[in-house]
Amino acid sequence: MTIQIRTAPYERVGGDHLGPFEVHPDLVQMHLGVIAMSGTEDLPGSMNTDTDPADPDYLLLEWDPGPQDTTTASGQVRQLLKDMVDSSRDFKLFGVGPGFVWSDGSTLRDGAGGALGSFLFYDVENCEGDGRWVRGVNGEEVCTSSAGILFHEMGHRHLGHPSGFSSEDTDNDERAAVGVENLLRTAQGLVERDPDHWPESSCGCPGSDCCIVASVASGSPYSSEVHALRFLRDYILRTTVLGRHLFDMLHSEYYSFSVSVCRIMLLSPEAKTNVQNWLVIPLIQSYEAARRYACFPEDIAGLGKQVMENSLPDSPVESLEHADLEKGLLFIEALLERSPSTVQNCALDASTIEICDTLKTHLRNCPHITWAIIEPLLAYVETKVQFRGTAQIEDAGLFFKQRMETWLPAIPLRYLLPKMSDTDLLESLSRLSESVFTSSDVRKQLGIRISDTLSSHKRDAITGRLRDMGYL
Amino acid sequence: MKTESFRENVSLQVQKCAFSDGQLQVDLMLSNNGDTAIFAISSPRRIEFDQGSGVLHLWLSDEGRKREQMPGVVREISSPPKKALKPREHMVLNIHVPVDITRLVPHDDQTFHLEAIDLTKAEHVEIHCNVDDKPFYADKKETDITKQLAHWGTRLDIKANIDRKNAY
């Protein structure tokens, strides 16, 4: 048992007032889980961690997936990870994030991972959420993930490569580590990385490391559900300055709880299924319905049809019993602490209740996640529960429309507006009036809120433009 | 090495240099007055803080880095992220650097310590940005990627004081 995960924050020299360095053990465990799942929906055997009795600053990884079919890529990845667990070499894993620099001052954007003897350091946030590309064997820039970077670095250690650049065999060592990384890429159904062009990688890849909860719940960071969320992130949310600031807030709030949720899911298939059916898939469907509302705000019947009929092929939500959907609604209401009942009364498994409690606690301090994720989800599932089994498509559409018109103008402004110049705010609102805030009622409600939030000086400066754009 | 006229046609100005939201934010205006497109490294490759002089160096450049500076660590070097700038146009590079930096300091016996660097103590910033009229392409015949990167482009240097009055 030689894979150790550093858990204790690491004391730093020269900055007592700054405190110790955080090493992100939850994210490291999550990335090990993604490697062990190796592109499938299953995690064979139980992957446990326990405090290392010899050094309580570390967790020891315990994992035995049983016999593996090494004719498959997934089997090869699992066998290799198992070999690493059983290896005589030590692997001490450190998750590092923004603010970490290597010894010469180079940043994680410059080098995503490295080794010093048995200590392995890698970027757990994958370029601060921007993603990272590597050169694929098809010649294209293809995305990589933090789990891929970790497996690459573990490959170096497993293969006994000497540390650093002192070796003249650097090029060969890198090719070999890319080979290890490619085992995982193949298992995940991705284009392999070109070992002959290993230095060609850099930050900025819209497809990578999105939505870790959806990745674990759906079994892969490259599932259709995660692709749908990536599309929304990259082609709607991050196309304006306002959207990018909102994304930054969502990103920091999301990582306050997502790894805890994923850890529970990795240990409980039932909780994983519930998160997939009650949160991930309905969330994507709610966004699809919200997009339809934004495009055709007056088409009530079409909106009702969109909400009540499935927009994702073979969505398991449609096959849920009504009672299960109601449980999902209760679960979401409980997250917002709006339900008179509690999830404990719904005969849920302990892991799902633990996820509910974890989310509930964090959401109190996550206004952007609550607005961007939980509120539209609630609107969607409430509509489904209320109108399921009825022929009242138009009523369902009207109900959902009203919920959208309450939800959209309620975007949290307190932390977003101070970050933006007048020009950026107006440009963002102008663009969003064509894609998100298409309804004049929504624009007017939002304009009033913006106006009330701004200082009188700023308000005077932009009121005319807001009025011209229909926001007042 | 580029001609003097290349250097004369490219200029760098600091529009903003202030602390905000736990970060040092530097907005750089890059202008291309020449007749061909240029490429510029768009985010810091290295961060060096001289605590004695209070000067923070932000290297949007691979110049000056050698392998010997990294005993025992960092296997994988990425290509620098670059932005293209058309002829006779300008663009703003927004640089964000956390004020709380942690540097890995390796020891000869393959142990290490972590050094905390408080960038709020910086008084001045020196920015070094490499630009070129073609992107970086790795030469497979030369395995030392660090050396190749260090020779890419022409370096522009600019200094700025940190605006503490308008920090928010």
Strands A3-6 and A58-62: antiparallel
Q: Is the pTM of this model over 0.80?
A: no
In what helix (H) or strand (E) does residue A11 lie, and over which residues does it extend? none
Q: Write out residues 394-423 of A within 8 Å (CB-CB) of B.
A: 418-419
Q: Do B75 and A164 touch (CB under 8 A)?
A: yes
Amino acid sitting at position A285: Q
Q: Do A109 and B146 touch (CB under 8 A)?
A: no
Question: Which of B93, B99, B114 should one mutate to test binding to chain A, selecting the residue with the greatest count of A CBs within 10 A?
Answer: B114
CB atoms within 10 A of CB A170: 22
What value, to the nearest 5°, has the Cα angle with vertex B155 and ends B151 and B157? 150
pLDDT value, residue A201: 82
Give the orientation angle of helix A300-308 with respect to helix A281-295, to 10 degrees.
170
> What does A389-421 look like in DSSP terms, one character per residue?
TSS-HHHHHHHHHHHHHHHGGG---TTTGGGS-
Cα nearest neighbour of B74 on chain A: A114
Strands B154-161 and B124-132: antiparallel
- Separation between Cα atoms, residue A409 and residue A428, nearest integer Å: 15
Q: Do B102 and A153 touch (CB under 8 A)?
A: no
Chain B residues with CB under 8 Å of A21 CB are 102, 114, 116
What value, to the nearest 5°, has the Cα angle with vertex B95 and ends B104 and A16? 35
Amino acid sitting at position A368: H
Contact A275, A218 (CB under 8 A): no
- Separation between Cα atoms, residue A295 and residue A191, nearest integer Å: 35
Q: Write out residues 23-42 of B within 8 Å (CB-CB) of A.
A: none
pLDDT > 60? residue B168: no
Question: Which of B43, B96, B104 should one mutate to test binding to chain A, selecting the residue with the greatest count of A CBs within 10 A?
Answer: B104
The structure tokens 């018109």 sit at A405
pLDDT value, residue A161: 82
Q: Do A104 and B70 touch (CB under 8 A)?
A: yes
Q: Write out residues 65-124 of A within 8 Å (CB-CB) of B.
A: 96, 98-107, 109-119, 121
Amino acid sitting at position A181: E
Residue B69 binned pLDDT confidence (cut-offs 50, 70, 90): low
Cα nearest neighbour of B51 on chain A: A14
Instruction: Give phi and psi for A428, each to the nearest 5.
Output: -65, -45
Contact A187, A222 (CB under 8 A): no
Short-list B15, B165, B10, B32, CA closest to B95: B15
Contact A205, A130 (CB under 8 A): yes
- Separation between Cα atoms, residue A303 and residue A78, nearest integer Å: 45
pLDDT > 80? residue B93: yes
- Separation between Cα atoms, residue A422 and residue A450, nearest integer Å: 12
Q: Do B168 and A15 touch (CB under 8 A)?
A: no
Please tell me which residue, B143 or A139, carries the higher pLDDT value.
A139
Which among A103, A109, A164 has CB closest to B43?
A109
- Separation between Cα atoms, residue A6 and residue A23, nearest integer Å: 7
Please tell me which residue, B153 or B80, carries the higher pLDDT value.
B153
CB atoms within 10 A of CB A394: 15
- Separation between Cα atoms, residue A106 and residue A165, nearest integer Å: 15
CB atoms within 10 A of CB B8: 10
Which among B69, B101, B145 has CB closest to A99?
B101
Beta bridge mates, A45: none
Which among A15, A112, A115 has CB closest to B78?
A112
Which among A98, A117, A171 has CB closest to B143?
A171
Chain A residues with CB under 8 Å of B56 CB are none
- Separation between Cα atoms, residue A294 and residue A277, nearest integer Å: 25
Short-list A436, A391, A402, A443, CA closest to A292: A436
For the record, the structure tokens of A306 come out as 């969109």
- Separation between Cα atoms, residue A373 and residue A395, nearest integer Å: 24
Of the given ranges (A383-392, B53-62, B95-104), which has the lowest mean pLDDT? A383-392
- Quote the ipTM score: 0.91
Q: What is the pLDDT along chain A (472 residues), one digit of tens a residue?
A: 589 999 999 999 987 788 899 999 988 988 898 899 888 777 777 788 889 999 999 999 988 899 999 999 999 999 999 999 998 889 999 999 989 999 889 899 888 898 888 899 999 988 887 778 888 888 877 888 889 999 999 998 898 887 654 445 677 888 899 999 999 999 988 889 998 877 778 887 754 555 767 766 666 666 666 666 776 776 667 778 898 888 888 877 887 787 778 778 877 888 888 888 888 888 888 888 988 898 888 899 999 998 988 655 556 666 677 778 888 898 998 888 876 656 666 678 888 998 998 898 888 888 999 999 999 999 999 999 999 888 899 999 999 999 999 999 999 998 888 888 888 899 999 989 988 999 999 999 999 999 998 888 888 889 999 999 999 8
